[in-house]
C-alpha cells in the first residue's frame, strides 16, 4: 500500500522554501508550535486531515506533528493542491500526504479513503468530505473517534444538517464560526485571494467593469469591498433580505441575477448553494462575460447547462475555458467552476490563515482534554470555546505590535450594574 501520493517528490526543495516563507506571516501558529513542541498535547494521536494542501496548511500539519500527532493529510479539493508543498511534506517532514493538483474525482476520493484507512482519532475537514464518507461507508470506525473540526461555512452547513437528522456520530468543532476565523479569513482572505485568482487567470483590468457578486455573506462582503476598491461598478445578488439591505447600504447595486446577467462583465459566486448562475442567466449574458466561483463546491455555476447551450469550447488561457454558445456569444469559465482563489492563485495569504489554523490547532488540543470524552461532548456541532477565540485575537494583536485599552474598575462596575441611568 502507498504511504503517500504526490505529483513529484523532486519538487520538495521549492515547497520547503515556500513553506518557510509562509511561516514568517504566521506568528500565532508559530507560538502554538513552540508550546506544542514542549508539551506534546497530541502525543500518539492519529489525526486525519482533509485540507487544501498549501504552504499555510503545511505549517498547520507541522505544528500538529510537533504536538505529537501522527498526521495523515489529503486534499480537500482536486484543484487546490500545491504540488511542491505536498512533496516537501512527505520528504522533509515525513507526513503521509495524498494530493495531486488536477487529480480526477476517483483519485480525489481514493485520497480521502487513504486518510480514513489511517484510522483517525480526530478528523480535520475543510468541506466535511471525510466526515461524510466516514458516516456513509465506515460507520463502524466512528466509535473510536474523539471528535473533529471543520474549517469552512459549507462544511458546517453539512454537519448541522447531519446533526439535525440525528446521524452525526461524534462531536465536531465548527472552526469556521470562531470570530477570529470568519471575520478575517472569509472576509479579508477571500476578498483578496479571489481577486488574486481572477487576475492571475485573466489579467483583466477590473476598473470600469461591472462585477456581479452572488452572495453577501462574509466572503461576498470581502470580495465586493475589494472589487469596489479597484474601481469596478459592483452589483450584489442575494436571497436574504437583511443581507441585501446591508449590501445596498454598503453602497452596492442590488438586483436579481436575472437582471445582473445582462449587464455583468465578470461574475463571482460565493453563496454555498447550487445553480446560482444557470441556463436562464447564461442566455442573457454579454459576449466575453467571465464567470467564476469562490464558494467551496463547484456547483454554484450550472456547468452542464452551460455545456448544453454551447456549440464549441476551447482553452483560451490557463484556467480559462471559452464556451461559444449556439447564439454566437462567448462565455469564459474560470478554473472549471472550482474555487478560483485556490485553483489559479495560492489561496488566502498566510497572515489570515494564521488565525484560522491557530483555531484548528487549539480545537484539536481541546478535543483531547476531558471535554473530548464522550461523556461530556455529545455528537453535535460545537463552537470554538470563547477563551480560545479571544486568546488568538490577543496573540495576533501582539504580533502586530498593537496595544489596546482595558476596562477600569469603575467601567467594569458600570457594565455589571443596572441601577445607573440618565
Q: Which residue in 23, 56, 83, 300 binds ligand ADE (CB under 6 A)?
A: 56
Report the residue number, 281 or 348, with the smaller CB distance to ligand ADE. 348
Report the residue number, 57 or 293, with the smaller CB distance to ligand ADE. 57
User: What is the rounded end-to-end Cα distance, in angstroms, of the chain?
Assistant: 74
Q: Is 23 in the site for ligand ADE (CB under 6 A)?
A: no
Q: Which helix (H) or strand (E) holds 291?
A: strand 289-293
Q: Is 295 in the site for ligand ADE (CB under 6 A)?
A: no
Q: Is 57 in the site for ligand ADE (CB under 6 A)?
A: yes
Give, as one character, the DSSP assignment of residue 200.
Answer: H
* Number of residues assigned to the chain: 422
d(CA 95, CA 105): 23
Q: Is 347 in the site for ligand ADE (CB under 6 A)?
A: yes
Which bin fits 127, alpha (ψ -120 to 50), beta or left (φ > 0)? left
What residues between 162 and 191 interact with ligand ADE by CB under 6 A? 189
- Which among 42, 87, 84 has a CA at the least distance from the CA of 63? 42
Minimal distance, residue 342 CB to ligand ADE, in Å: 6
Task: Compute φ and ψ for 254, nearest 5 degrees.
Answer: -120, 130
Q: Is 210 in the site for ligand ADE (CB under 6 A)?
A: no
- Do the beta carbons of residue 130 and residue 50 sit within 8 Å? yes
Report the residue number, 97 or 193, with the smaller CB distance to ligand ADE. 193
In a 13 Å sphere around the CA of 325, the CA atoms on its Cβ side amount to 22
C-alpha cell at 352: 489570515
What residues between 326 and 345 interact with ligand ADE by CB under 6 A? 342
The count of residues interacting with ligand ADE (CB under 6 A) is: 11
What residues between 24 and 53 interact with ligand ADE by CB under 6 A? 51-52
Q: Is 125 in the site for ligand ADE (CB under 6 A)?
A: no
Q: Is 54 in the site for ligand ADE (CB under 6 A)?
A: yes
- Do the beta carbons of residue 111 and residue 75 sit within 8 Å? yes
Minimal distance, residue 348 CB to ligand ADE, in Å: 3
* Contact residues for ligand ADE, defined by CB under 6 A: 51-52, 54, 56-57, 189, 193, 342, 347-348, 353
Amino acid at each position: 500500500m502507498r504511504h503517500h501520493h504526490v505529483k513529484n517528490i523532486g519538487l520538495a526543495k521549492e515547497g520547503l522554501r515556500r513553506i518557510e516563507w509562509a511561516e514568517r506571516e504566521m506568528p500565532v501558529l508559530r507560538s502554538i508550535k513552540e508550546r506544542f513542541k514542549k508539551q506534546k498535547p497530541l502525543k500518539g494521536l492519529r489525526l486525519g486531515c482533509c485540507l487544501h494542501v498549501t504552504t499555510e496548511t503545511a505549517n498547520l500539519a507541522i505544528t500538529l506533528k510537533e504536538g505529537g500527532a501522527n498526521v495523515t493529510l489529503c486534499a480537500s479539493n482536486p484543484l487546490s493542491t500545491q504540488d511542491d508543498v505536498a512533496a516537501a511534506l512527505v520528504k522533509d517532514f515525513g507526513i503521509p500526504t495524498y494530493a495531486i493538483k488536477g487529480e480526477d474525482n476517483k483519485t480525489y476520493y481514493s485520497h480521502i479513503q487513504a486518510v480514513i484507512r489511517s484510522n483517525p482519532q480526530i478528523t480535520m475537514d475543510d468541506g466535511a468530505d471525510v466526515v461524510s464518507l466516514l458516516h456513509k461507508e465506515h460507520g463502524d470506525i466512528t466509535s473510536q473517534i474523539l471528535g473533529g473540526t471543520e474549517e469552512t461555512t459549507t462544511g458546517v452547513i453539512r454537519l448541522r444538517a447531519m446533526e439535525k437528522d440525528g446521524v452525526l456520530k461524534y462531536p465536531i468543532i465548527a472552526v469556521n464560526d470562531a470570530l477570529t476565523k470568519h471575520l478575517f479569513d472569509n472576509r479579508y482572505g477571500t476578498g483578496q485571494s479571489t481577486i488574486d485568482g481572477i487576475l492571475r487567470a485573466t489579467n483583466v483590468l477590473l476598473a470600469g467593469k461591472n462585477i456581479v457578486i452572488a452572495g453577501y455573506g462574509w466572503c461576498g462582503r470581502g470580495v465586493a469591498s475589494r472589487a469596489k476598491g479597484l474601481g469596478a461598478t459592483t452589483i450584489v445578488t442575494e436571497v436574504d433580505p437583511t443581507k441585501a439591505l446591508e449590501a445596498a447600504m454598503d453602497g452596492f447595486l442590488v438586483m436579481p441575477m436575472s437582471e445582473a446577467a445582462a449587464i455583468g462583465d465578470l461574475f463571482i459566486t460565493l453563496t454555498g448553494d447550487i445553480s446560482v448562475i444557470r441556463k436562464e442567466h447564461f442566455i442573457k449574458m454579454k459576449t466575453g462575460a467571465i464567470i467564476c466561483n469562490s464558494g467551496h463546491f463547484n456547483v454554484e455555476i450550472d456547468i452542464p447547462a452551460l455545456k448544453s447551450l454551447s456549440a464549441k469550447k476551447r482553452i483560451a488561457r490557463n484556467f480559462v475555458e471559452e464556451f461559444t454558445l449556439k447564439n454566437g456569444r462567448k462565455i469564459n469559465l474560470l478554473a472549471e467552476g472550482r474555487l478560483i482563489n485556490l485553483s489559479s492563485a495560492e489561496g488566502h495569504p498566510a497572515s489570515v490563515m494564521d488565525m484560522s489554523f491557530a483555531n484548528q490547532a487549539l480545537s484539536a488540543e481541546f478535543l483531547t482534554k476531558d471535554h473530548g470524552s464522550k461523556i461530556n461532548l455529545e455528537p453535535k456541532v460545537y463552537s470554538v470555546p470563547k477563551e480560545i477565540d479571544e486568546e488568538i485575537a490577543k496573540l495576533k494583536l501582539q504580533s502586530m505590535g498593537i496595544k489596546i485599552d482595558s476596562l477600569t474598575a469603575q467601567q467594569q462596575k458600570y457594565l455589571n450594574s443596572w441601577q445607573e441611568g440618565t
